[in-house]
Amino acid sequence: MPNNVANTVEPAAPPEIAPAQSEFRRVMRVFFGRKLAVVGLALIVFLIITAIFAPWLAPYPPNDIDMAQTLAKPSAEHWLGTDNLGRDILSRIIYGARTSMIIAIGATAVSVILGEALGLIAAHFGGIVFQIIMRFIDALMAVPMLLVALIMASLLGGGAKNVILALGVGMLSVHARMMCAQALSVKQNDYILAARAIGMGNLRMMFLEIVPNAFPALVVVITVGLGAVILAEAGLSFLGVGVMPPYPAWGGMISEGYKYILSNPVLALSPGVAIMMVVFGFNMMGDGLRDALDPRLRGVI
Amino acid sequence: MTAYIVRRLMLGVVILLLVTLLVFLAMRLLPGDPLIIFISQSQVEVYSPEQLAELRHEYGLDKSLPMQYISWIGNILRGDMGKSIVLGQDVGYLISKRLPVTIYFGALSFIVSAFLGIIFGVICALRRGKWIDSVVTVLANIGITLPAFWLGILLMFVFSLTLHWLPTGGYVPPTESLGQSLRAAIMPVICLSLFSIASLTRQTRSAMLEVVSQDYIRTAWSKGLRERVIIYRHTIKNAMIPVITILGLQVGLIFGGSVLIETVFQIPGMGRLLANSLFSHDYQIVQAGTLVIAVVVVLSNLIVDISYGWFDPRIRYG
């Protein structure tokens, strides 16, 4: 723990000089040298496996109602007990991993595609285009992300697809800002001038020169962003505008369990532990990736 | 400097105008006719088409979209935020009742997180590698992963329902009884500020460590400055710039969090007003409330930008 967060800044090898292979090895070495980053990676791998193999891992189907055993305390039969409809909590948490994963990936994809595109266009063309796009992004950032997502989700109505869209729009400004800043700094380099000199077009320039050079920063932002989306999704589900009720979502389970907090606190508290583990995983992985890919980002992200 | 502030204020006005545009378009273009939803919810009276048209006219919903937008902006500039369709009350009045409550909890949270976050970060950096650094860093890493509303439920379960030490929530105006007001605020403020404390600790720690390795700090040591001078005047002051950026972001985060925390602790603030209004499609309130929050966020960003110059005179306001 002591050494991992704050080693002195080691300048990243300039990508145009270092051969690709050794750069990749260096990144791997730094990343796997951080204990917490490895713990984070392990948690995320665990989440993905849980999400994919949920039907095999879960002891019961997630929506199986057993009115004979409602609000049961944890037992050998039901490790984490049952909810007010007699549904097995552990199974619902396991299936909830699926929901979280799908929404995190979906919303991140939406925000990355829209946000990066806007940031890239703003930075590449500059001038009035930059002003218009970035002022709209500023406006989006002036409203708290959770509120943006909440407004979108409640207007569109709940359900996985709308939640993905709402969170995607909520996270969009972060990605646009980041991409814009990265692209502006990449544009300062001589190889961009060289590319322009040989007559490279706008699209080729953006995708062959700017995006690859801004890539390390994007990977870090995306990783940390996945955790942020999961937290925000839990918040939306808690408020009742998340994924539709019978479908297990961690935030929704907390909100349902909240009513029975005195009789069975495990109900509301256990899904929170799942959320924490996953968000912790993404954050620690993000920290490790940041140190490995681009330590200059420390302080920015 | 003055020119810079004026320019930033104008930019702020532009951003707020765009916020109004985005909010307005979102409310009008996404599905759901507010009038119909309201009437089918009340179900008390049956309206005739004439009455419907009259209502629609009363709320200005019969005009074209651009006209609705312009009249809304015009009214806001005159200080009239409209009338809530569902609650039947003046929106400005509702917000003026709720906003101080949210600002009370928000300001407390902001102060607590700025104070603790920076202190923890500085302690960690100065005691780098010692047990206190390890403990605080681990706690900070956990702090940025906790869902605030879940923490609220956990705290309420332990301290209110089991130990009966603290009230389960609610809001007592500080003018009524400062002691009781603060007692009721303890848990909500912990929930609202925990994420900020944790991320500020992380930020301060790494900014401090970055500065410590700079040449000018080595110079300061080698010319024999006292440790205290080096830490306070050279290290902390220089490390504050990225920290202030993060500090500015906390205002929006705290407002966003208040939607959840005010629901958990039954606090009659803006967050709950907005959440309830969204569920009842009371979009006069949502529009105005979102705008009010954006104003607070934009103003605090302005303060952050101006304060950079105090911490780092090298920054020029060109």
Q: Over chain B, what is the mean pLDDT?
A: 84
Confidence at B80, pLDDT banded by 50, 70, 90: confident
In chain B, positions 99-138, which contact chain A (CB-CB < 8 Å)? 125, 128-129, 133-134, 137-138
Confidence at B32, pLDDT banded by 50, 70, 90: low
Q: Out of B22, B134, B209, whose CB is closest to A139?
A: B22
CB-based contact, A138 to chain B, within 8 Å: yes
- Residue B42 and residue B108 in one domain: no
- Residue B71 and residue B105 in one domain: no
B50 found inside a domain:
yes
Chain B positions in Cβ-Cβ contact with residue A144 (cut-off 8 Å): 252-253, 255-257, 259, 293, 297
DSSP structure class, residue B128: T
Whether residue A189 has pLDDT greater than 50: yes
Is A299 within 8 Å of B257 when comparing Cβ atoms?
no
B316 found inside a domain:
no
Contact A288, A220 (CB under 8 A): no
- Residue B155 and residue B287 in one domain: yes
Q: What is the pLDDT of residue A35?
A: 83
B93 found inside a domain:
no
Amino acid at A240: G
Nearest-Cα residue of chain A relative to residue B19: A139
In chain A, positions 237-296, which contact chain B (CB-CB < 8 Å)? 238-241, 251, 254, 258, 261-262, 265, 268-269, 271-272, 275-276, 279-280, 283-284
- Residue B179 and residue B258 in one domain: yes
Q: Out of A1, A150, A239, whose CB is closest to B138?
A: A1
- Residue B10 and residue B123 in one domain: no
CB-based contact, A129 to chain B, within 8 Å: no
Q: What is the pLDDT of residue A42?
A: 92
- Where is average pLDDT lowest: A12-26, A165-179, A263-277? A12-26
B118 found inside a domain:
yes
CB-based contact, A200 to chain B, within 8 Å: no
Query: What is the residue range of B165's domain?
Result: 99-311
pLDDT in tens, B129-163: 888 888 898 899 889 899 999 999 999 989 988 88
Whether residue A167 has pLDDT greater than 90: yes
- Residue B131 and residue B245 in one domain: yes
pLDDT in tens, B201-234: 988 988 888 888 888 888 888 888 888 888 888 8
Among A24-33, A68-77, A230-239, the range of highest mean pLDDT: A230-239
Chain A positions in Cβ-Cβ contact with residue B138 (cut-off 8 Å): 1
Q: Mean pLDDT across the stretch B189-212?
A: 90
- Residue B71 and residue B111 in one domain: no
Whether residue A299 has pLDDT greater than 60: no
B86 found inside a domain:
no
B26 found inside a domain:
yes
- Residue B109 and residue B198 in one domain: yes
CA B23 – CA B292 distance, rounded (Å): 12
B88 found inside a domain:
no
Q: What is the pLDDT of residue A111?
A: 93
The domain boundary, picked from B46, B77, B108, lies at B77
Counts of helices then strands in chain B (DSSP H, E)? 13, 0
Higher pLDDT, A142 or B309: A142
- Residue B114 and residue B255 in one domain: yes
- Where is average pLDDT lowest: B1-5, B59-63, B195-199? B59-63
Report the CATH number at residue B214: 1.10.3720.10
Q: Mean pLDDT across the stretch B242-267?
A: 89
The domain boundary, picked from B77, B107, B125, lies at B77
- Residue B70 and residue B118 in one domain: no
3-state SS, chain A, equals: CCCCCCCCCCCCCCCCCCCHHHHHHHHHHHHHHCHHHHHHHHHHHHHHHHHHCHHHHCCCCCCCCCCCCCCCCCCCCCCCCECCCCCEHHHHHHHHHHHHHHHHHHHHHHHHHHHHHHHHHHHHHCHHHHHHHHHHHHHHHHCCHHHHHHHHHHHHCCCHHHHHHHHHHHHHHHHHHHHHHHHHHHHCCHHHHHHHHCCCCHHHHHHHHHHHHHHHHHHHHHHHHHHHHHHHHHHHHHHCCCCCCCCCCHHHHHHHHHHHCCCCCHHHHHHHHHHHHHHHHHHHHHHHHHHHHCHHHCCCC
B195 found inside a domain:
yes
Ramachandran angles phi, psi of B215, nearest 5°: -60, -40
Chain A positions in Cβ-Cβ contact with residue B134 (cut-off 8 Å): 1-2
pLDDT in tens, A75-108: 767 677 777 776 788 888 888 888 889 999 999 9
Higher pLDDT, B309 or A119: A119
Q: What is the pTM of this model?
A: 0.85
Q: What is the ipTM of this complex?
A: 0.86
CA A102 – CA B225 distance, rounded (Å): 56
CB-based contact, A31 to chain B, within 8 Å: no
Q: Mean pLDDT across the stretch B290-297?
A: 91
Among A178-182, A285-289, B14-18, B234-238, the range of highest mean pLDDT: B14-18
| Domain total of chain B | 2
In chain A, positions 210-229, which contact chain B (CB-CB < 8 Å)? 227
The domain boundary, picked from B29, B45, B77, lies at B77
- Taking the CA of residue A257 and the nearest CA in chain B, the distance in Å comes to 10
Q: What is the DSSP string of B224-236?
A: T--HHHIIIIIII
- Residue B216 and residue B249 in one domain: yes
pLDDT in tens, B35-54: 665 665 555 456 677 777 77
Q: What is the pLDDT of residue A281?
A: 92
Whether residue A2 has pLDDT greater than 70: no
